[in-house]
Amino acid sequence: MPRKTVREAINEALVQEMGRDPDIVIIGEDVAGGEGGSSGVEDAFGGVLGVTKGLLPRFGRSRVIDTPISESAIMGMAAGAAVTGLRPVAELMFADFFGVCFDQIYNQAAKFRYMFGGHARTPLVIRSMIGAGYSAAAQHSQSPHSIFTHVPGLKVVMPSNAYDAKGLLIQAIRDDDPVIFFEHKMLYDLADEVPSEPYAIRFGEANFVREGDDVTIVAFSRMVHIAAQAADVLEREGISVELIDPRTTSPLDEESILESVRRTGRLVVVDEGNPRCGLAVDIAALVAEHAFHSLKAPIRTVTAPHTPVPFAPSLEAAYIPSPARVAEVVREIMR
Amino acid sequence: MQLPRLTMLDAYMRMQRIRNFEERIVTEFSSGEIPGFIHSYLGQEASAVGTCMHLDDDDYIGSTHRGHGHCIAKGADLKAMMAELYGKRDGLCRGKGGSMHIADLSKGMLGANAIVGGSPPLVLGAALTAKTRRNGKVAVAFTGDGGSNQGTVFEAMNMAVVLKLPAIFIIENNGFGEGTAASYACGTDDLAARAAAFGMPAVAVDGTDFFAVHDAVGEAVALARAGGGPSTVETRCPRFTGHFVGDPQHYRANGEVDVLRRDADPLTLIRRRLIDAGVFDAEQFDALDRDVAAEIDEAVAFARAAPIPDEADLLADVYISYR
């Protein structure tokens, strides 16, 4: 099977779906780039990190739409196009920018169906980059997925690898509800085996990354890899880790998490978001409520601290949950 | 006044429906039968109708929190509208939207919008759908003098120009954003000029004059349908009521509204124009008014008798599918 990076997998999903369905349009800032520039070069950007490269020459400007830097107008236009018959894939370049356009997402697109008594259909995908690791500092490095997960009416997807990225994006595009698709910027070059044909991965179905007996670790996006490194270390120490990647935070595969914790009796949640009112405590609460009597040790979370993302590489490294921190927390609840 | 007689009849009926609907709402709201907040469109009827007379069901509009008039002008069913305001299961939105979110997608009505400046970006999307499908349809964004100060409206106007979308912006300048006058809150008294600065045709018209609105919006719609891009029409139409029903309007001088009702009533104006032109006589208008009053009575009776939503409706329609 061919190996492809996350970037290539996402691009392939877009190409294949756009080829299948003429109602799919790409909307965003510099999704192609070069429009109006003095060089005359088209597709000069192809997305700020090259994810949408090559779509413009294939599908033309009517379907690969470069916009002004106007996130509210982008999100509103995509929502309005979705509810009137298109199937837009809009790009919110960095998830941090949700602050300038969230109304169009959470007050408008997310609520159409409910507010309008079930008469609306809003097949909208918003692709957006999350994550620290590039020293991009406080306004280009955040992981605000918990805020989106909090909103009824939105589905939230957080792929951790290329295979999932392709299958989940195809599902997101075919889905008739608004879907937020979070791509971790540190994962774009990560490669694994990705089938060339289109396939969809259902939302709300966790991936059991590895099976184990002593502790359940639930992790999302890049944190799946951090947790896997910790699990390798722990295994050499005789601690058997079950690692679950739910892949979507909304819907959340609650059953898989609960079933695993009922077997292992221990839970650690690893999340790159900030700790308060976040995804990690959400899952901790789920288990406390429904699997309390199976627990052999306190539930633990490993998250970013309650701070903005710092710039200095040394501080940023301390901000991001590390394999060492995850391993140490597991050791503590194994004692 | 080169319009066909039936068109003028239709326009008058729509305006009178809005007038009767809104006046009745004030009564029913005050008696406690209608929950929530109500923002009345009284005094602005010519703006909605002068605009929507150019649109069919496949053309979209996005509305405001003051949205009943747009909804009626776009052809929504009065009974289902009234039931929605009463929070009943047979309402347009099954009682889950209410006054501030009333919508009828089957009529191209993308919803009232409780966020000031919320609709214009959404309307871009409807315009993008029309442009992508090359179907000659247009999309109209209503906003107000208050909304015209929102960044979303600026973004939407610029984007519509850049992408040459078949979008029309109607700025209904009713003189107040909530309880603060437009003369204070807008840095200019020429709101159309702001839109023009984005690079589109923009005019301001007397929004109490159906014919003035109809002419100006007609040009804008024709341009958009022909692929000529967006336009803006500022309709100046002072509201007769407060920001919400129950607003004591301490910010308005005594007698201000009485003068408006005497000198700037869109219904009086269209009626006088049509009588003077010999299109209809006073008796004919009185008969039409009785028909409209009966429609509103029927709508209220329907809404009162309609069942409240099922408890299970609370959890329904958050998603189409959730797996």
The residue of chain A nearest to residue B134, with distances taken between CA atoms, is: A62
* Sequence-distant (≥ 6) Cβ neighbours of residue B184 within 8 angstroms: none
Please count the CA atoms within 13 angstroms of the CA of B200 that sit on its side-chain side: 35
Are A108 and B159 a contacting pair at CB < 8 A?
Answer: no
Q: How high is the mean pLDDT of chain A?
A: 97
The rounded distance, in Å, linking the Cα atoms of B174 and B30 is 23
For residue A16, the tally of other CB atoms under 10 A from its CB is 18
> Are the C-beta atoms of residues B11 and B235 closer than 8 Å to each other?
no
Q: pLDDT, tens digit, for every residue of A271-311?
A: 999 999 999 999 999 999 999 999 999 999 999 999 999 99
The residue of chain B nearest to residue A252, with distances taken between CA atoms, is: B323
> Are the C-beta atoms of residues A62 and A32 closer than 8 Å to each other?
no
The predicted structure's pLDDT at residue B323: 76
Q: How many residues does chain A have?
A: 335
The residue of chain A nearest to residue B90, with distances taken between CA atoms, is: A117
**Residue B125 CA: distances (Å) to CA of A153, A251, B50:** 19, 27, 23
Q: pLDDT, tens digit, for every residue of B274-303?
A: 999 999 999 999 999 999 999 999 999 999
Domain residue ranges in chain A: 3-193, 207-334
- Of B195, B234, B229, nearest to B221 by C-alpha is B229
Establish whether domains A3-193 and A207-334 are of one fold: yes
Mean pLDDT of A42-63: 95
| CATH T-level assignment (fold) for domain A207-334 | Rossmann fold (3.40.50)
- One-letter amino acid at A256 equals S
User: Is A103 part of the contact surface with chain B (CB cutoff 8 Å)?
Assistant: yes
pLDDT at B1 over 70: no
Mean pLDDT of A116-144: 98
Coil, strand or helix at B296: helix
> Are the C-beta atoms of residues A172 and A179 closer than 8 Å to each other?
yes
Domain residue ranges in chain B: 5-308
Are B125 and A153 a contacting pair at CB < 8 A?
Answer: no
Are A84 and B156 a contacting pair at CB < 8 A?
Answer: no
The predicted structure's pLDDT at residue B2: 78
Q: pLDDT, tens digit, for every residue of A64-121?
A: 999 999 999 999 999 999 999 999 999 999 999 999 999 999 999 999 999 999 999 9
The pLDDT > 90 percentage for chain B reads 99
- For B205-264, the DSSP string reads EETT-HHHHHHHHHHHHHHHHTT---EEEEEE---SS-SSTT---TTS-TTHHHHHHHH-
Q: How many residues does chain B have?
A: 323
Q: pLDDT, tens digit, for every residue of B135-175?
A: 999 999 999 999 999 999 999 999 999 999 999 999 999 99
With beta carbons under 8 A apart, name residues in chain B contacting A113. Answer: 317-320
> How are beta strands B60-62 and B180-181 bridged, if at all?
unpaired
The predicted structure's pLDDT at residue A154: 98
Q: Chain centroid to CA A259: how far?
A: 24
Place of tokens 């010519």: B46
> Are the C-beta atoms of residues A173 and A17 closer than 8 Å to each other?
yes
pLDDT at A38 over 90: yes
The tokens for B24 are: 């009745």
Mean pLDDT of B35-60: 97
CATH of A3-193, one of 3.60.15.10, 3.40.50.450, 3.40.50.970, 3.90.950.10: 3.40.50.970
| CATH T-level assignment (fold) for domain B5-308 | Rossmann fold (3.40.50)
**Residue B161 CA: distances (Å) to CA of A84, A247, B46, B53, B266:** 20, 39, 27, 24, 32
Place of tokens 């300038």: A100
Q: pLDDT-based confidence at B100, cuts 50/70/90?
A: very high
Best mutation target, A84, A125, A176, A180, to test chain B (most B CBs within 10 A): A84
Angle at B48 (CA atoms; ends B44, B52), nearest 5 degrees: 165
The pLDDT > 90 percentage for chain A reads 98
User: Is A77 part of the contact surface with chain B (CB cutoff 8 Å)?
Assistant: yes
Q: Which helix (H) or strand (E) holds A93?
A: strand A87-94
Mean pLDDT of B196-224: 98
The predicted structure's pLDDT at residue A130: 98
> Are the C-beta atoms of residues B267 and B42 closer than 8 Å to each other?
no
Mean pLDDT of A218-237: 98
- The values of phi and psi at residue B172, to 5°, are -85, 100
* Residue in B97, B128, B162 closest to A116 by CB: B97
The predicted structure's pLDDT at residue A197: 98
Mean pLDDT of B177-182: 96
Coil, strand or helix at B53: coil
> Are the C-beta atoms of residues A83 and A121 closer than 8 Å to each other?
yes
Are A121 and B123 a contacting pair at CB < 8 A?
Answer: no
User: Is B60 part of the contact surface with chain A (CB cutoff 8 Å)?
Assistant: yes
Angle at B68 (CA atoms; ends B33, B235), nearest 5 degrees: 145
* Sequence-distant (≥ 6) Cβ neighbours of residue B284 within 8 angstroms: none
> Taking the alpha carbons of A230, A232, A233, A237 in that order, is the dihedral positive or negative?
positive
